[in-house]
């Protein structure tokens, strides 16, 4: 029983240290000009950081600046363009865009211009 308790305590301390390291790494990335997401889901760009008051000025849209607590910054958002996405995009270039018709798969005959008319039940 004591061995199991010791293992649980060991893992609790290990996870705690890992979370502290991640928090320090996040705080080192948080600097003016960084694009971030807050805990409540608001995306914005950091305008300035007040170390004494633990406040961050966050510009969420042009001319709209929010003042939030520094700990509400959940993560730094980095551009997610990778080589895999560019290869996938290049492979799909032949695909029609949303709302476009794919002429190769339409059932309409090009010469048929007769309008569809519903006959009444009379």
Query: Where is pLDDT greater, at 114 or 36?
Result: 36
Mean pLDDT in residue range 17-32? 85
- State residue 23's pLDDT score: 82
> Which residues lie closer than 8 Å to 39 by C-beta, 6 or more apart?
72, 73, 74
- State residue 114's pLDDT score: 65
- State residue 94's pLDDT score: 63
| pLDDT tens digits along 84-94 | 555 655 556 66
**How buried is residue 44: exposed, middle or buried, by Cβ count under 10 Å (0-12/13-18/19+)?**
buried
């Amino acid at each position: 029983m004591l061995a199991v308790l010791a293992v649980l305590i060991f893992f609790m301390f290990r996870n705690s240290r890992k979370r502290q390291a991640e928090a320090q790494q996040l705080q080192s990335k948080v600097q003016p000009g960084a694009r971030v997401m807050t805990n409540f889901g608001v995306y914005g760009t950091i305008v300035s950081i007040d170390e004494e008051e633990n406040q961050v000025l966050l510009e969420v849209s042009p001319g709209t600046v929010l003042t939030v607590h520094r700990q509400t910054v959940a993560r730094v958002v980095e551009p997610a363009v990778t080589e895999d996405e560019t290869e996938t995009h290049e492979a799909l270039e032949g695909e029609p865009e949303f709302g476009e018709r794919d002429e190769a798969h339409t059932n309409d005959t090009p010469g048929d211009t007769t309008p569809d008319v519903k006959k009444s039940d009379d």
